Amino acid sequence: MKKITLFLFMACLPLISCSSDDSSDGQSTRKIKATIDGTPYTFNTVSVGTQEFTDNGFTYTDVTITGSIDNDPSKTISIIMMQGETGNDASWYFGLQEGEREFQKNGSFSTVVSESTNNFVKGTFSGTVVATDDGETKVITDGSFEATY
C-alpha cells in the first residue's frame, strides 16, 4: 500500500500547483546539486509545488521540490518538506528516481532545511538511498537545494 501511495503521489506531482515568483528582480532561484556515487550532478530544471493538508484540525502546507537535468525525467530528485519548518525533521521525504527505479532515503540520510518561508526554501542533504525494488544503495554527498517560488 505504501508503494502505491508513493507512486500515486509521484504521478500527481505535475498536477500540483506552482506559485508565482515573488522575488524583487523577477528572477527565480531554483537549483538542486548533489554528488551521487562520486559523480557530481546539477539538477537545473526545478519545479516547486505546494499542497495544503488538514489532519485532526491541524492545517499545514507541504512544499515539493523536484529537479531533473535539462528537463530529462530519466534522473530526478524529489524533496518534500513542511512549509515554514526548519531543521532535520522539516523534510519527510527524499527520493531519487533513475528511469523506472526509485531510491528512498534510509535511516542515516539527513535532509536539513536551513531556511523556509512562504516563498523560499534552502537546505542540504546527504546519506544513503536504497532502491525500493532490490535494495541496491547509492551514496549521496554534497547535496544542496534552494528554491524561490
Using one digit for the tens of pLDDT, what is the confidence trace for 36-53? Answer: 999 999 999 999 999 999
Q: Is the pLDDT of residue 25 over 50?
A: no
C-alpha cell at 130: 536504497
Q: For residue 26, what pLDDT is reported? A: 41
Torsion, Cα 90 106 75 149, to 10 degrees, reads 0
Cell of 37: 556515487
Return d(Cα 111, Cα 90) in angstroms, integer. Answer: 8
pLDDT in tens, 76-133: 999 999 999 999 989 999 999 999 999 999 988 999 999 999 999 999 999 999 999 9
DSSP assignment of 4-29 equals HHHHHHHHHGGGS--PPP--TTSPPP
Do 54 and 62 meet the contact criterion of CB atoms below 8 Å apart? no
* Single-letter code of the amino acid located at 50: T
Q: Return the pLDDT at 29.
A: 86
Is the pLDDT reported for residue 2 higher than 50? no
DSSP 13: G
* pLDDT of res. 87: 97
The whole-number average pLDDT for the span 48-69 is 96
* Distance separating alpha carbons of residues 15 and 1, to the nearest angstrom: 22
pLDDT value at residue 7: 41
Per the CB < 8 A criterion, the answer to whether 99 and 74 are in contact is yes
